């Protein structure tokens, strides 16, 4: 009998070891939860997904926290937590959000009570209402959602991008989604406010909506009969608005608005106006968008036209913080410059000598001296001596404090103001935990890099949590455990508006040259500056505060950002430590510029679009709000890259001249070749395609030129030659074949253009088997101005 009891006890002990005691199943807990994913079940790939969790405690008070843990692509985990206080028998609804990348199918929800796990459950996420990045999600904030139902399934044609369209999915925004300083709103592309009292929103909630707009989204405000309610959030002069009394216009009640720095949309009546804020827009309608007869008669057409006008193509791309710029972020804020690191070869040599002396050499010497008993004294003495030697070798490189690299990016407007957006890299010279709190006036967000995407791990992501994000009083506290030495954690920081100043002057392109004068009226010197134009990049150097600079053709020029790369990225390995430092510095500077162009100016590597011209350069000052790292001393390094719009005219005495690289063609929808990058001017896939070049701002064309720039490629390698080039003859309604080269070839506008459109057909043949892409032909024109 005793033997049976012993076996039973042993069996029960084994069960307690095999089954983790920390896992509390739902049926054993007094806590119940109900979770809803997205907004009315709808969410988007590469965006934040709201999770609404209803928590109920049946038998006890809960004083602790709720945690949501989700997997990264490599099966690491991230936990988001919020304080939870719940009386027995009560329910509470909590809204958190998690980023959704390529795929996510489950999360784990945990409830802690006084530090002890009370509940844990793995929840599956369905994909039935998951939208792709190229679909638009429109959220409405209104007391009558049905009045705006006409905004569902609008077909949106993206302006200036032929063939790119989208459609809308409409959802009503629950009021508990309007949290202070949260990421819940990230899921929406457009928010429409109509028949809603915005004055009841808190300052933090209003600031969250403003930051959402400035990040590149579109806010539409209906006024009309509800104008006093919907305009309540603008009492702080964020936008200066003067409203007039309602007036009758035909069948409609409209509220005329005078809005500072606004532009008319749809027509010139001023009943639809937009104000740009950061990378986004706020659109004001003098109509109430949900009132009759507007919503029955002209609502659908009006909103369709507005969204057509303001939605940028970039908004339909995956969120860059969850995709392709991680490698640049690592370059920008993951390197430590200006610190001389120990010579690795010398340290290895010292360690080798030390190992030999305390090992075979030391033993041999003491044995020869017949003093083996003294080894217990000799080894500690040798250790002390070598410790002193290593300290001397590395004495100039010892780092004691955490290092924080901050890179600020400011897009300055025509009034000399701009919002400060920053990337932050935090690292330790030793193994350490990290705690960083969101500052008072800025929005701090983590960037979980995907550099280990191909290094997929197996196992439970909840056992490998690399970061915990605690929400406390509307602010976030980030905790990273066991960070390795010089292994950075990355963050983005969105700050407020700063007055930077302006660059005054006007530039003109004529005779194949850019000329003009610029004066630095900033409060700062502008260093390492460049003129970024659609037809090339000019190296300007430094422009001192208050000084003028004459722009001329003798300045160093790069054909585009591909050519620009070759100036920064050395093809040969550096030989000395100084050369390595210089090359690293150049890589960082190039990464700064490429990231800025891509993320804030919407300019990819390659050509740009008409009239998008900037001067960019570094200014020395601290713009980012201070961050507290482990409540201690920090080695802070901060640099700022700013972009200023520049007035560049392509007209001179009534003659317009557009250079090569300025006009980007559009791909005809009949073309079956998919591997085409129109912005960079590259064809990756063999086959035949048709392209159309539209020339704007010209009454009549005088000359048309084409050329094939085979050197206009990355890494100094030449593009493949076009197999066949044909230009459409509008006189004969047929394509004429010509041979192109790097020298420009002139074509007759009378024969080869119609309504300022030029069509070509090309055949790419040499793109397979690792060869360089084929170059898309470039066009240049001259003509008389409108």
Q: Tell me the pLDDT tens digit for each residue of 688-701.
A: 999 999 998 888 99
Q: For residues 256 and 313, which has the higher predicted lDDT (pLDDT)? A: 256
344-355 burial: b if 16+ Cβ within 10 Å, else e: eeeeeebeeebe
From its phi and psi, is residue 166 left (phi > 0), alpha (psi between -120 and 50) or beta? Answer: beta
Across the range 185-199, mean pLDDT stands at 95
Indicate which CATH number applies to the domain containing 285.
3.40.50.880
Q: pLDDT band for 586, please (50, 70, 90 cuts).
A: confident
Residue 704, token pair as written in the block: 């048309």
pLDDT given for residue 20 in this prediction:
38
Same domain, 505 and 518: yes
Q: Is residue 751 over pLDDT 80?
A: yes
Same domain, 668 and 622: no
Do 456 and 466 contact (CB within 8 A), yes or no? no
d(CA 184, CA 177): 6
pLDDT given for residue 26 in this prediction:
46
Same domain, 692 and 736: yes
Interacting residues of 446 by C-beta distance below 8 A, sequence separation 6+: 78, 467, 469, 478, 489, 490, 491
pTM: 0.75
pLDDT given for residue 511 in this prediction:
81
Q: For residues 358 and 31, which has the higher predicted lDDT (pLDDT)? A: 31
Whether residue 378 lies inside any domain: the answer is: yes
Same domain, 193 and 226: yes
d(CA 490, CA 401): 17
Same domain, 515 and 643: yes
Could you write out the three-class secondary structure of 588-602?
HHHHHHHHHHHHCCC
pLDDT averaged over the chain?
A: 83
Lowest mean pLDDT, pick from 339-348, 437-446, 672-681: 339-348
Same domain, 685 and 742: yes
Q: Is residue 671 over pLDDT 90?
A: no
pLDDT given for residue 206 in this prediction:
93
Same domain, 724 and 737: yes
pLDDT given for residue 714 in this prediction:
56
Q: pLDDT band for 16, please (50, 70, 90 cuts).
A: very low
Q: pLDDT band for 471, please (50, 70, 90 cuts).
A: confident
Q: For residues 502 and 141, which has the higher predicted lDDT (pLDDT)? A: 141
The per-residue pLDDT for range 700-735, each reduced to its tens digit, is 999 999 998 887 655 556 788 888 999 999 999 999
Whether residue 310 lies inside any domain: the answer is: yes
* Residue that is last in its domain, among 616, 631, 649: 649
Q: pLDDT band for 519, please (50, 70, 90 cuts).
A: very high
Same domain, 173 and 302: yes
Q: Is residue 457 over pLDDT 60?
A: no
Burial of 109 (0-12, 13-18, 19+ CB in 10 A): buried
d(CA 283, CA 67): 38
Considering the chain, what percentage of its residues have pLDDT values greater than 90?
A: 42
The per-residue pLDDT for range 488-502, each reduced to its tens digit, is 999 999 887 888 998
Indicate which CATH number applies to the domain containing 679.
2.60.120
CA angle 574, 771, 693 (to 5 degrees): 105
pLDDT given for residue 610 in this prediction:
45
Residue 437, token pair as written in the block: 């709190």
Whether residue 247 lies inside any domain: the answer is: yes
Number of other CB atoms surrounding residue 621 within 10 Å: 12
Do 110 and 66 contact (CB within 8 A), yes or no? yes
pLDDT given for residue 319 in this prediction:
55
Across the range 448-474, mean pLDDT stands at 71
d(CA 639, CA 443): 19
d(CA 708, CA 724): 12
Q: Is residue 544 over pLDDT 50?
A: yes
Whether residue 10 lies inside any domain: the answer is: no
Q: Is residue 38 over pLDDT 90?
A: yes
The per-residue pLDDT for range 210-224, each reduced to its tens digit, is 989 988 899 999 999
pLDDT given for residue 378 in this prediction:
65
* Residue that is last in its domain, among 649, 667, 691: 649
Across the range 761-769, mean pLDDT stands at 79
Q: pLDDT band for 681, please (50, 70, 90 cuts).
A: confident
Same domain, 180 and 301: yes
Domain count, the chain: 4
Q: pLDDT band for 18, please (50, 70, 90 cuts).
A: very low
Same domain, 695 and 624: no
- Using only the alpha carbons of the chain, give its radius of gyration: 31
* Residue that is last in its domain, among 381, 397, 413: 397
Same domain, 607 and 733: no
Q: For residues 176 and 580, which has the higher predicted lDDT (pLDDT)? A: 176
The per-residue pLDDT for range 612-636, each reduced to its tens digit, is 689 999 999 889 988 889 888 888 9
Whether residue 764 lies inside any domain: the answer is: yes
Whether residue 13 lies inside any domain: the answer is: no
pLDDT given for residue 699 in this prediction:
87
The per-residue pLDDT for range 57-115, each reduced to its tens digit, is 988 999 999 999 998 877 789 999 999 999 999 999 999 999 887 678 899 999 999 99
Whether residue 79 lies inside any domain: the answer is: no
Q: pLDDT band for 452, please (50, 70, 90 cuts).
A: very low
Whether residue 434 lies inside any domain: the answer is: no
**What is the extent of the structural domain holding 204?**
134-316
Residue 449's alpha-carbon distances to 196, 326, 458, in angstroms, are 39, 6, 18
pLDDT given for residue 736 in this prediction:
97
Q: Is residue 48 over pLDDT 60?
A: yes
Same domain, 370 and 252: no
pLDDT given for residue 198 in this prediction:
96
The per-residue pLDDT for range 340-379, each reduced to its tens digit, is 555 556 666 766 776 666 666 666 666 666 666 655 676 6
Q: pLDDT band for 321, please (50, 70, 90 cuts).
A: very low
The per-residue pLDDT for range 634-662, each reduced to its tens digit, is 889 999 999 998 888 888 889 999 988 88
The per-residue pLDDT for range 368-424, each reduced to its tens digit, is 666 666 556 766 777 677 666 766 655 555 567 899 999 999 999 888 888 899 999
pLDDT given for residue 21 in this prediction:
35
Across the range 159-169, mean pLDDT stands at 71
């Amino acid at each position: 009998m005793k033997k049976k009891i012993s076996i039973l006890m042993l069996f029960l002990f084994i069960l307690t070891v095999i089954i983790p005691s920390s896992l509390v199943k739902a049926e054993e807990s007094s806590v119940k939860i109900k979770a809803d994913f997205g907004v009315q079940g709808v969410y988007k790939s590469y965006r934040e997904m709201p999770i609404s969790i209803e928590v109920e405690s049946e038998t006890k008070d809960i004083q602790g926290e709720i945690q949501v843990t989700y997997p990264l692509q490599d099966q690491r985990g991230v936990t988001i937590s919020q304080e939870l206080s719940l009386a027995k028998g009560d329910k509470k609804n909590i809204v958190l959000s998690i980023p959704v990348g390529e795929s996510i199918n489950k999360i784990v929800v945990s409830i802690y009570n006084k530090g002890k796990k009370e509940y844990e459950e793995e929840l599956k996420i369905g994909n039935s209402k998951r939208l792709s990045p190229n679909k638009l999600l429109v959220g409405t904030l209104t007391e009558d959602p049905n009045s705006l139902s006409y905004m569902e399934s609008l077909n949106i044609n993206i302006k200036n991008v032929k063939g790119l369209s989208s459609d809308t999915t409409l959802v009503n925004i629950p009021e508990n989604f309007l949290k202070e300083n949260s990421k819940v709103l990230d899921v929406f592309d457009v928010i429409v406010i109509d028949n809603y009292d915005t004055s009841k929103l808190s300052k933090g909630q209003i600031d969250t909506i403003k930051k959402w707009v400035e990040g590149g989204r579109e806010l539409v405000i209906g006024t009309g009969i509800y104008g006093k309610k919907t305009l309540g959030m603008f009492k702080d002069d964020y936008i200066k608005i003067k409203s007039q009394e309602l007036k009758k216009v035909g069948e409609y009640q409209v509220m005329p608005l005078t809005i500072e720095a606004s532009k008319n949309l749809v027509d010139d009546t001023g009943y639809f106006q937009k104000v740009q804020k950061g990378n986004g827009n706020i659109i004001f309608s003098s109509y109430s968008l949900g009132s009759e007869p507007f919503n029955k008669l002209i609502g659908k057409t009006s909103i369709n036209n507005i969204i057509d006008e303001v939605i940028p193509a970039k908004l339909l791309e995956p969120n860059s913080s969850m995709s392709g710029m991680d490698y640049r972020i690592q370059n920008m804020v993951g390197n430590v410059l200006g610190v001389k690191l120990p010579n690795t070869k010398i340290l290895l040599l010292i360690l080798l000598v030390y190992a030999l002396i305390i090992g075979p050499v030391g033993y041999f010497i003491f044995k020869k001296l017949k003093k083996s008993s003294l080894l217990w004294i000799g080894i500690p003495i040798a250790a002390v001596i070598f410790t002193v030697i290593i300290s001397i070798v590395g004495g100039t490189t010892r780092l004691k404090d955490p290092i924080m690299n901050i890179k600020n990016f400011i897009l300055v407007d025509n009034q000399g103001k701009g919002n400060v957006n920053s990337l932050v890299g935090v690292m330790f010279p030793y193994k350490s935990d990290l705690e960083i709190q969101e500052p008072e006036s800025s929005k701090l967000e983590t960037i979980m890099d995907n550099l280990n995407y191909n290094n997929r791990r197996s196992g439970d992501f909840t056992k490998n949590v690399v970061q915990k994000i605690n929400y406390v009083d509307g602010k976030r506290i980030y905790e990273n455990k066991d960070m390795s030495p010089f292994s950075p954690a990355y963050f983005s920081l969105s700050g407020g508006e700063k007055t930077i100043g302006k660059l005054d002057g006007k530039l003109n392109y004529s005779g194949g040259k850019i000329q003009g004068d610029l004066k630095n009226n900033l409060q700062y010197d502008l260093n390492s500056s460049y003129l970024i134009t659609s037809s090339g990049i000019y190296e300007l150097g430094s422009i001192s505060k208050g000084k003028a600079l004459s722009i001329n053709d003798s300045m160093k020029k790069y054909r585009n950002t591909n050519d620009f790369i070759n100036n920064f990225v050395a093809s040969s390995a550096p030989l000395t430590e100084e050369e390595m430092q210089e090359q690293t510095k150049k890589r960082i500077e190039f990464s700064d510029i490429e990231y800025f162009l891509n993320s804030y100016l919407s300019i990819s590597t390659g050509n740009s679009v008409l009239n998008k011209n900037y001067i960019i350069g570094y200014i020395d000052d601290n713009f980012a709000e201070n961050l507290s790292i482990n409540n201690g001393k920090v080695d802070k390094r901060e640099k700022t890259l700013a972009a200023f719009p520049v007035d560049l005219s392509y007209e001179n005495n009534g003659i317009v001249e557009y250079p090569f690289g300025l006009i980007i063609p559009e791909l005809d929808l009949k073309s079956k070749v998919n591997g085409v990058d129109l912005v960079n001017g590259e064809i990756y896939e063999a086959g035949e395609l048709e392209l159309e070049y539209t020339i704007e701002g010209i009454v009549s064309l005088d000359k048309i030129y084409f050329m094939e720039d085979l050197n206009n490629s990355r890494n100094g390698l030449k593009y493949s030659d076009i197999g066949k080039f044909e230009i459409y003859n509008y006189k004969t309604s047929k394509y004429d074949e010509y041979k192109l080269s790097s020298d420009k070839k002139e074509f007759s506008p009378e024969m080869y253009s119609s309504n300022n459109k030029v069509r070509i057909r090309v055949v790419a043949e040499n793109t397979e088997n690792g060869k360089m892409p084929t170059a898309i032909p470039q066009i240049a024109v001259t003509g008389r101005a409108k």
